Amino acid sequence: MGLLDDIPKKGGHPVAAGQPYFISDGSPINSFEFLRPLLRSLDYDLPKAALSVSHTLILGRMFSAIYTVLYPWLNRWWLPQPLILPAEVYKVGVTHYFSFLKAREELGYVPMVSPREGMAATISYWQERKRKTLDGPNIYAWLFVVVGMIALFGVAYLPDIGPVPLLRAISLFFFRSMWMIRAVFVLSMAAHFGEGLYAWHLAKMVDPANARAWFWQTFALGFFSLRFLLKRVKSGH
């Protein structure tokens, strides 16, 4: 006899057989409000702007129409996934609540952990996991720094090929001479190397398992990476 057949006062009848039940904590809350304390505890930026469901649906339907036309190529590697679709708007923009009353009445179900206790345990788990991983800036910082350094190297040392002449003309407008452009590049590389060494030194104290990764990331991104490590040092993690 299964566990759900041994419910008190049910006479050994399998009341749960073939029945659907919603199991939840019984505390309905908007998804974004639910995630807010977790995101804040991990130092993630929260959305600062909101878009109404009706306007987002228009955007979702536009993407749906575009990707309907592109249907024959949906599995191609060069075609990115749609930004948002109507179904996702309804999932994210509408708060869904599932009652566990049926499970309580028929199965005697009661939540064993309160929402506050559950969130505290979740925050603790993700904070510990984050301490073991490498923090870093978003893709825009990567593009800005890496593309910028490559462009500066090209302007300073490459011959006149492709976009180099245009970039060199723009650089000369600001720096006035090739000597100055090359000096800026060399000093930038030296600064990145110094920041990488400093990051490696700090990581040895607060995140030794990722010390080498901190060096390379900070060498590539400079202060955009170092500031994440400094924040971790300041918080004592």
In the structure, what pLDDT confidence band is assigned to residue 1 with cuts at 50, 70 and 90? very low
pLDDT of residue 6: 56
User: Which residues are within 8 A (CB) of 18 and not within 5 positions of it... i.e. 6 or more apart?
Assistant: none
Q: Give mean pLDDT, residues 109-131.
A: 89
SS percent in the chain: helix, strand, coil, step 5: 65, 0, 35
Helix, coil or strand: residue 130? helix
- Distance CA(120)–CA(41), nearest Å, equals 10
- Amino acid in the structure at residue 73: W
What's the whole-model pTM score?
0.56
- Distance CA(219)–CA(212), nearest Å, equals 11
More confident residue, 46 or 57: 57
Q: Give mean pLDDT, residues 198-215.
A: 90
Mean pLDDT lowest among 1-5, 24-28, 129-133, 148-152: 1-5
In the structure, what pLDDT confidence band is assigned to residue 209 with cuts at 50, 70 and 90? confident
In the structure, what pLDDT confidence band is assigned to residue 61 with cuts at 50, 70 and 90? very high
- Distance CA(226)–CA(203), nearest Å, equals 10
Helix (H) or strand (E) holding 65, with range, is helix 53-69
C-alpha triplet 86, 42, 118: angle, nearest 5°: 80
pLDDT of residue 2: 45
- For 93-107, write each residue's pLDDT tens digit: 878 788 899 988 888
